[in-house]
Chains A and B, each alone.
Chain A
């Protein structure tokens, strides 16, 4: 029996493939295999002999079966190894082309601004880009002869012959949305109004179209000090610099009184702009307390309500925040520019994630 064991374990070890292994299995432990034949001989034995031979034969059968299973696994492994070795690919090859889209900085910054002001209780109002001169000027306390009108480089829509109304304008600022928002929503009110605005000006730092965001808060108790806080908080959140300091400087806008230009503390050391440090001041926006006439134009009683308003350039704060040098490039759609300054589709700004 030891010979038998030696013989088959040796042949199992030598089997080179699954077929060979199966042949050995049939010969050894198959129905007509040598071990099976021996087992059949057990019946002719005395009970005493059976007591001894039975377990021995069973053990032999188990051992052979186990050896076959082990050999089979090792053959399979080898085959897999061989296949995998053949399946080698040059993984340094590039992938299938897949486009990566981008969000324009103007859209991104508009969403950033919206998220911050929403947190302070402001909602978003919109208005038409072609405006009547009443909404764009008169309602904002800029009467027909006012020098501010001439200074605004206004675009006018052509008038059809026989149409004697004053020509419509391309809104020169987002301020007309103030009036529309007051008309629609009344007081108290907190809104921002982002959007395209137009002025007939084109040079290194001006484009005939750009983007503004107007902000307005109307309440019974609200002051310029609240305005300053609101803008400081905005700037700290937007520029992601906690130490930002603003300076209010007296100025004049027809639609606010008092009016202030707002400067932000900065440094230009080494040609790089750093906000919140240094001794320089950079003008970033205009603001003030809403003129009583403007409140009235929006249908709000100035003896009961007061409010602040401000306006700033979206493109401009985008340039400041992201270090974008040239305003004109914003509207040129140069793919190199869009991909460099653009944002990922999933980078939607939120207050909790920044």
Chain B
């Protein structure tokens, strides 16, 4: 039976083909080759395509075993008069892998994604009404994945296509937040928040909603119809557990939301989520410290508030040691001001870092060091005063700034002291500082200061400095322009560069420094940074200051939080993390601002405390040994009946240098060969093996330990074998220059996806695709597609005689479009014929 099949292609480039394949017969006759199907390409075993063999995968006993990673194209809907509403897959997954389900025709279809353990208990679901559903794997292990055709089960219809991505990039892995739903979220049972499209009376709205909910058998308990948002409460119902072998029952709240969204009678409908507050300190003036939430500190404090074993040395004017909001967090310290007049405390260097004031009688004292220290580690959550960034950490006050400022010599001595190195005091602290904060500087560079910084850094001290306040290039300032420091620029309450902040290529990161010319948050106070202070009368208090002096301690405090989680955090770690080059994490600890990537105003971005502590957690959970550690991916390999080769990657999950010493297999039918770098090809030889399931191990030994990779191989056509590299029946179509179908054929995995088309000499286009919804079209959204030489740039091939070796890739489309057929500016439609 002939049927017309139409295809639509993406972009066609009129590039003459040359050089590929082998000309065998100049008198004309044949084009042949092989379709390249990735191992990760898999087709739903029960689709509507009548040219593909169908095997039910509706229940766990018939679960379709698939590889990981995988891109599965599937169909949900009526097949031969019976509704296929469930596709179950069985797969080995890794913790934190993302599973995503893309529904091709979201306007008509609502497909849901579920994850179950081997005990058939649901562990995650994504049951929203958007195009994408996605969930994260909670732990390594074997799972059932179920794609459930909610709309097919409930409303019937012609069915539709989907794509299931496991460990591969789908169209997007991010579901639209406002359409996302999960039964694992906390929300008030039977409560919905809705917004009608237009204002209407309560009675009219209730009537409409009742109609929309008719299909759910849910009834309205109450309706609070306010202008901003309406709250609908349902009457409790007895939700029966679904009788399917994998439970797909969902809360009544979600059933109701799905019904209202499908009816499109409201602008939105969503659960009444239960939100929990992040840790919020009870300090009196915390509400005025806009600069702390600006860098996600409340969220970070849920993870850590700082450890008392982390010490931040504040090299500054000293600290008012008896300030009530600081005294509990101070340790040791020293006064390195060597000039008695500058020191204004009756002596030169001494063991007393108390700040007597830097006013010298000519001006009010700044008590700058007290302010900086409070930002880092003011005693917090004590119902008084202000909140510090890392309030569990300790401050080591080191005094260098006197009435006339500081000298390079005094500054150098304080740096050495903080690093527990020999210095002019002839003393060292019991424990060196983990972090140094220097909210100071001046124009010009200093080799002396650079040398001290280099030495301190070599001891493991992370050094944070302010960029300066001249709105000039910080490269020419010291210590801002020194090597080996974390240079911090300032932003205001709007997270934009403060007008005074220096900038330049030396800026590593930005943090709140304030701008007291404005009150953007309308709290009645200028937008400075609020912290601890004193005055020349000895009164303790708090004040808003602005400057890169205020920005640097925010960064120092965030680093203290990171150190509290991951004590081994080194200066090099910080450098590599900021650059995005750390071997154990690619995550950033800042929010990109300004130009994409690093720029001269914000460096690598506005520091974000939550991202930072999470990175610290990642580092903590990563192997910390300095020795190599052998790891393999995948950890288990399964060969489906027709699968001959698989890839294996061996890599170093530790540090140092990994040397593979030996690779052995425990069975003679199994062999491993190195391809390149870390990649190996695992091959099975089924010769002389009778039908059955075989097991073997690949044992890899190295200087980083020994790893065993299990292998399972099937010799038979059992459908319960793990499938991979299977796109079902693929239609291969040859088109003339006018895009008219000349001839076509089908191929399958059993044929090795080889094809052969008889054709006269001439110029042709060659395309291939699947038609799993059996609608007569290939390349619908959710179907696989390929073109020679690539689908993104299909070129004519010249056939002068026969051409063989015309191979090209067929796979999931690079992106899903809104229309049923791929649209492009050069779209052409091709008729195609299939001969049986």
A and B are interacting partners = no
A→B interface (CB under 8 Å):
none
